[in-house]
Amino acid sequence: MGYLEKIILQEDTRNISKLKEFLHENFLDEAAKKISTKRGKVFIVTGFFISYANSPETDGPPGALAIGFALKQLGFEIIYITDKWSFSMIKGLLSEKDTLINFPVTSHSESDSFSKKLIEKYSPSMVISIERASFVEDGTYRNWKQEDVSKYNAKIDYLFTPSLYSIGIGDGGNEIGMGNLSEKIKSIKGLPDQPSITKVDDLIISSCSNWGAFGLIAAISKIKKQNLLLSVEQVKKIIIKSVDLGAVEGLSGKKIYAVDGRGLKEDSKCLDQLHNYIDLVI
């Protein structure tokens, strides 16, 4: 396993790291190389709604903003996509110049049609998902308790088609992209019995999805010889603002300044290590 991959998979509390043997040893570098060949517009998808807390979670949007920031520095045009359950929170994190699309919560056929229209309108070169719930085998969305939470999820999976290069970042087995390893996920204790079925071209696993996003940016930074990472303080401010806008820490469902059980200081460990690494290699 590569050095960057070790950083983003540290402190694994869900056994997600057991999937690493089924991925390329340097899966971050593999995705970063492909991004480096692309140009134009990018769809970035995020927003995971915690139904029992009636709020979106803090994991996902910070990573989405971080990737958007990095890719904008490389000349990409970013289009963020979420649904009504996370829209106002994410809108509050973005600037007035940023584009955020509210994907409707509707039927499978209408969602498929809406996705095709978005792709036709914007002609993106790729689509990236960060901590976004995925279809399971029966076409529903399931949370960690295996409860049907379909009414809280727009069917954004339809954007992930073979014709459009795609990346999925997740930490639990039920996110867009984890469909690449559905059968493996079923066999690992701690991961869902009904995992994602939505596949991507490149899957990124991490102990926290934000960390996976930061790891991808570090891999791109290494290629471009330019540190494209947000600072630790910038990310802290995004997390704080997301909670102030209504987000919750995903494990507890509480409105606290934390991500996946880690307070701001503990959560910063990964990003701090990535900065140290990039400072050494560029």
C-alpha 246/C-alpha 125 separation (Å) is 32
pLDDT in tens, 148-171: 999 999 999 999 999 999 999 999
pLDDT in tens, 124-137: 999 999 999 999 99
For the sheet containing 126-130, what is the strand order?
99-102, 77-82, 41-46, 126-130, 165-170, 202-205
Give the pLDDT confidence score for residue 146 in this predicted structure. 83
pLDDT in tens, 193-232: 999 999 999 999 999 999 999 999 999 999 999 999 999 9
For the chain, domain boundaries: 3-281
Q: Residues near 240 by Cβ (< 8 Å), separated by ≥ 6? A: 257, 264
276 falls in which pLDDT band (50, 70, 90)? very high
The CATH superfamily holding the domain 3-281 is TON_0340 (3.90.1640.20)
Q: Give me the long-range contacts of 51-56 (CB less than 8 A, separation at least 24).
A: 51/143, 51/147, 51/149, 51/152, 52/253, 53/248, 53/253, 53/254, 55/246, 55/247, 55/248, 55/253, 55/255, 56/85, 56/86, 56/89, 56/90, 56/246, 56/247, 56/248
CA 162 to mean position of chain CA atoms: 19
Give the pLDDT confidence score for residue 145 in this predicted structure. 79
114 falls in which pLDDT band (50, 70, 90)? very high
Give the pLDDT confidence score for residue 144 in this predicted structure. 77
Give the pLDDT confidence score for residue 109 in this predicted structure. 98
